Structure 1
């Protein structure tokens, strides 16, 4: 709230505002109509990062105070642009208020002819100013900064050097804060087993665990939280691990859960899963639960991490990308002690990770599928899946049917063919001895060949160019590349 000189009667705030500061100026800041303002007309821009941990009024107030002190006696602020909930790394074009300000530069009736900010780091990050400076110059709008106590002169090398240094400092501040936060979180997990936020895993719920470990937060009434087994969902998690230890497949477990109409995680907690359908259990959902080490009672952090980087290393104006990726096991952070009641013993959890319900070759080795990704279904166009059956490599297409779906649904017959049968048919069609399967595969990869399989295991080979034509290698699935080049497999996503 601003003081109005027209208010009736003396008051403490009015008296205080009339007192001069160290420079002999009064503290009174009364709104001045744009038509009556003397000097330069300024647009003020400010920004705050988070809504949860910052107060908009106080943040905007101190930034505007600094801006007004910078332009005191030389003009007045006639327009305000203040972004809330925007990181400094976000380019101006993607900040709502900053984008409005940039759009207003091209408007001849914009009402302002200069822009002032309360702090450089609040407005710019990296080389954002260097990229935006030509736009301000194009429309004749000067930028005023408190760090310069006046306008920026883009022709002054000292100004440009200072702004480049401030841009680097802004990036350093973000990186230092991120490093310190992650280091503190790592220590809290290892030493205290603290729950660091986020939704609890399926089978658990959050409960209060006493005052917050930080005394200052504890005085404000904040409490710590820990995981506790959820009476309605924890039995299902224990049942999944028990079934997996008997050798049951993940798909079979998911199908059984759907048949018994057990609510899936997204339907149990729809408020925290608005991005999921909640339709039922999937193979991936069950697999992720069976692979979550937090069910052993230990707190585990950094199973996922965010890869950040500029869209263009030389242009911060384009913004930054953030991609969530699964971390290597060596990057996990695990508490030293048990942090919450376990739903499975550590021994059983490790055994569940080694359980495998897939058919294996008779010699207990790994199956080698020569035709992976090279045969398509004639009925639906999907690529046939590799499938080990009756001690032999084979390929099949179930037309999108999932093993977690309920039985009894009418669907087309599966397309199915043994690898040995497929090699014989392809060798006959290509005129290559069937005794050398690798030669058959090499011929398929060398030529742009379209191979389809119909119900009953009949292959159709089309579009085989002559050997004198220019050959274009067919695309090879990453699974096949990994099998042929183990070194390359280490860099697969």
Structure 2
């Protein structure tokens, strides 16, 4: 008999010769582990031969962490098989409790399940005294195993920092650097080949040129065209902030000064950082104060309403200064600015805003448009009503089926006990029922879409009041509020000097009570989106005329 059995703890007296046993074996992989699955298997066979135990099943999870039971298929199969009373063994052999599970909660739960099914769990290496303190000792062992796992994770991170401190860095280097092989020594004294990041002589001139251009105040667009370092303009922001170009490596929350020879001199670096700081301050990108763009009210009437017809991105208001004339105001596509992925030309604000307001007046004065709006909205509401009824019928059928299945599972648990498979199915069905009920509530909330729209007269009156309010608005802010109450969005396209618009106009559902009989301007829709409103698309086109210059 092998001497490997000398440290093995004999089975408890309850596992007499002839007893049936299973064995669960697991390892985490790697050369640093205690025993591999193969070694554990050999010892289990020797234990069974020495003590006359009958080994019926071997469950093995190789190279799998014990942090949780997720992904341990053999562990799951063992638990599932243990639900069958005629196949249960008298005992379960494990190498140690850490191989069973390193998570304290998981270990206590699954050991309790197996023991409740009459299975004796025996660790071949953990000495557990018999008596009332056995459970306490097991718990302490599991806590120690979980702590070891945490220490192992910390050790791995510490080892990585040790490697980085020697100069080696995992992963892909930033632009302008290349990987150079080097020898590193682990904490255990083992040598291996890793790679450090070093300046690439072929790329260094382009890196220096990019920094020099930025220090001169050149735009990112110009730098991109000249150096071709990145395809996306957004990448240059990260590029100019990377301290590796001055020889400092930032890794894992630590900085490694003098990691490599600086590519950029400190004077150029500080100039570029100051330009970046000023640019961020102008755009308020990192501001927490009232000047953040999301908090600051825009003076452009169509902010938040105008969208690009080419890429779907929102348009933003842009003001550019002119030495001899008043500032030029225009709408521009955000994608054209951020990464130059859209080529929509700038659109003068006066041309776009005038065309939108003229388009609303045109709709209000033309009975054909009003009737078309009503007919389109009525057709949508009727179609929506049919779809909602069909969806509600299907969801109710799904809910009834899920509840019946849940009842069957509950009855099975009451009759045969709460096996892991049944508990998992029970939880799955409860989640399904909650999801179905959420869908049912969503259907109820969207049923407003099936409500009939305003009448032709109500639409005409609302459009009349909106145009009247715009005409008498005292400030641009009032005009902006009115536009946001009547318009869902404005889709904009420009081709040379022609401007094409799609006005998406809200058509609210019919009110349960009649509107007030007055001509007050304040009855125009507010900023909030009308509940259950339909959207009518009206297209218009016009030629852009130059606005007279004013000094």
Structure 1 length normalisation: TM-score?
A: 0.57
Residues in 2 aligned to 1:334 and 1:128: alpha-carbon distance in whole angstroms: 39
Residues in 2 aligned to 1:64 and 1:379: alpha-carbon distance in whole angstroms: 67
Q: How does 1:71-470 map to 2 (within 5 A)?
A: 73=51, 75-89=53-67, 91-102=68-79, 104-105=81-82, 114-124=91-101, 125-133=103-111, 136=114, 143-146=121-124, 161-179=136-154, 182=157, 192=165, 194-209=167-182, 212=184, 216-217=188-189, 220-222=190-192, 225-254=195-224, 281-302=231-252, 332-335=253-256, 337-355=257-275, 368=296, 370=298, 374-377=304-307, 379=309, 382-386=312-316, 388-391=318-321, 394-397=330-333, 403=339, 413-414=344-345, 416=347, 418=349, 422=353, 425=357, 431=469, 434-438=473-477, 450-455=488-493, 456=499, 460=503, 462-463=505-506, 465=508
CA contact (8 A) 2:91 2:120 kept: yes
CA contact (8 A) 1:39 1:76 kept: yes
Measured at CA, do residues 450 and 46 of structure 1 come closer, stay the same or move farther in structure 2, by a change above 3 Å? same
Measured at CA, do residues 421 and 404 of structure 1 come closer, stay the same or move farther in structure 2, by a change above 3 Å? closer
User: 1:138 Cα shift?
Assistant: 8.0
User: 1:97 Cα shift?
Assistant: 4.0
User: 1:46 Cα shift?
Assistant: 0.8
CA contact (8 A) 1:245 1:355 kept: yes
Structure with bigger gyration radius: 2
Q: Which has the higher helix share?
A: 2
Deviation per residue, 1:106-143 (Å, 9 max, x gap): 67897966543322223321311244357646876554
Residues in 1 aligned to 2:204 and 2:59: alpha-carbon distance in whole angstroms: 50
Which 5+ residue runs of structure 2 have no aligned equivalent?
11-16, 284-290, 322-327, 361-464, 494-498, 512-521, 530-551
SS at match of 1:342: coil
Residues in 2 aligned to 1:419 and 1:300: alpha-carbon distance in whole angstroms: 49
Aligned residues: 378
RMSD: 5.2
CA contact (8 A) 2:24 2:58 kept: yes
Residues in 1 aligned to 2:47 and 2:528: alpha-carbon distance in whole angstroms: 66
CA contact (8 A) 1:417 1:457 kept: no
User: 1:297 Cα shift?
Assistant: 1.3
CA contact (8 A) 2:25 2:60 kept: yes
User: 1:296 Cα shift?
Assistant: 1.5
CA contact (8 A) 1:145 1:151 kept: no
Q: 1:44 is matched with which residue: 24, 29, 41? A: 24
Residues in 2 aligned to 1:469 and 1:104: alpha-carbon distance in whole angstroms: 69
Residues in 2 aligned to 1:86 and 1:373: alpha-carbon distance in whole angstroms: 54
User: 1:428 Cα shift?
Assistant: 6.1
Residues in 2 aligned to 1:23 and 1:118: alpha-carbon distance in whole angstroms: 9
SS at match of 2:218: coil
Deviation per residue, 1:218-262 (Å, 9 max, x gap): xx443565322223444443333233333333344445556xxx7
User: 1:384 Cα shift?
Assistant: 0.8
CA contact (8 A) 1:452 1:459 kept: yes
CA contact (8 A) 2:491 2:502 kept: yes
User: 1:172 Cα shift?
Assistant: 2.9
CA contact (8 A) 1:143 1:151 kept: no
User: 1:42 Cα shift?
Assistant: 0.8
User: 1:301 Cα shift?
Assistant: 1.0
Deviation per residue, 1:187-207 (Å, 9 max, x gap): 876xx5633433333322233
Measured at CA, do residues 361 and 224 of structure 1 come closer, stay the same or move farther in structure 2, by a change above 3 Å? closer
Measured at CA, do residues 221 and 403 of structure 1 come closer, stay the same or move farther in structure 2, by a change above 3 Å? closer
CA contact (8 A) 1:213 1:224 kept: no
CA contact (8 A) 2:5 2:47 kept: no
Measured at CA, do residues 230 and 80 of structure 1 come closer, stay the same or move farther in structure 2, by a change above 3 Å? farther
Residues in 1 aligned to 2:193 and 2:319: alpha-carbon distance in whole angstroms: 55
CA contact (8 A) 1:376 1:451 kept: yes
Measured at CA, do residues 349 and 252 of structure 1 come closer, stay the same or move farther in structure 2, by a change above 3 Å? same
Structure 2 length normalisation: TM-score?
A: 0.52
Measured at CA, do residues 216 and 396 of structure 1 come closer, stay the same or move farther in structure 2, by a change above 3 Å? same
SS at match of 2:22: strand
Residues in 2 aligned to 1:181 and 1:95: alpha-carbon distance in whole angstroms: 23
User: 1:84 Cα shift?
Assistant: 4.2
Measured at CA, do residues 290 and 142 of structure 1 come closer, stay the same or move farther in structure 2, by a change above 3 Å? farther
Residues in 2 aligned to 1:472 and 1:145: alpha-carbon distance in whole angstroms: 69
